[in-house]
């Protein structure tokens, strides 16, 4: 079943992508939740026209995302957490904590666009994360997990 995505869908595609999915997934989840519409010939023509009109706006969005990426890469992010024996954390540090730390620095980023490399962090040290600011702009940052004083 061919569908046109109306918004970004994790592990499937971005807004306005034409994707092929299994019938049940499209009919029972994507279409009822408003994530996609059927890719009929008329819908594809409308999509092509909209993409042409949006090309200029897209260049501006990419430029803005690149500026934000450069700003974020300049941050020295330190997340403090309670520590037990052998540098093991009580709990873990994940994308929510990283989003809060970046917000303290002055840039708001939605937690769903942040992915900590290797999942959640459970020990002290330096780690990496990737932040998707735009479909074509991904910023890789490093952050430190330190012991709370």
143 in the same domain as 73: yes
Q: Can you give the CATH number for the domain in which 104 is found?
A: 3.10.430.100
Average pLDDT, the chain: 90
Confidence of residue 53 (pLDDT cuts 50, 70, 90): confident
The number of folded domains in the chain is 2
58 in the same domain as 19: yes
87 in the same domain as 56: no
Give tens-digit pLDDT for 65-99. 999 999 998 889 999 999 988 889 988 999 999 99
Q: Choose the final residue of a domain: 13, 48, 63.
A: 63
Q: Can you give the CATH number for the domain in which 24 is found?
A: 3.40.5.10
How many whole angstroms separate alpha carbon 129 and alpha carbon 143?
8
84 in the same domain as 139: yes
Candidate from 53-57, 76-80, 89-93, 128-132 with smallest mean pLDDT: 53-57
pTM attached to this predicted model: 0.68
79 in the same domain as 114: yes
Q: Which residue has the tokens 């019938």?
A: 23
Q: Choose the final residue of a domain: 15, 35, 63.
A: 63
121 in the same domain as 84: yes
Q: Which stretches of 64-136 are assigned E, i.e. beta strand?
A: 77-81, 88-93, 114-116, 121-123, 125-134
49 neighbors 116 (Cβ within 8 angstroms)? no
Q: Choose the final residue of a domain: 24, 40, 63.
A: 63
Structural domain harbouring 143:
69-147
54 in the same domain as 74: no
59 in the same domain as 29: yes
Radius of gyration of the chain (CA): 20
What is the model's pLDDT at position 59? Answer: 85
What is the model's pLDDT at position 4? Answer: 94
């Amino acid at each position: 079943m061919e569908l046109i995505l109306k918004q970004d869908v994790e592990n499937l595609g971005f807004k306005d992508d034409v994707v092929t999915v299994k019938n049940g997934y499209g009919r029972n989840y994507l279409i009822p939740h408003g994530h996609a519409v059927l890719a009929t010939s008329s819908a594809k023509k409308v999509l092509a026209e909209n993409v042409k009109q949006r090309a200029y706006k897209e260049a501006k969005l990419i430029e803005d995302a690149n500026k934000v990426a450069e700003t974020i890469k300049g941050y020295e992010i330190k997340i403090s957490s309670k520590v037990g024996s052998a540098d093991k954390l009580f709990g873990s540090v994940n994308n929510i904590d990283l989003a809060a730390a970046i917000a303290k620095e002055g840039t708001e980023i939605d937690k769903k666009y942040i992915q900590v490399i290797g999942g959640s962090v459970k020990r002290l040290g330096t780690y990496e994360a990737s932040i998707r600011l735009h479909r074509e702009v991904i910023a890789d940052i490093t952050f430190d997990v330190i012991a709370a004083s």
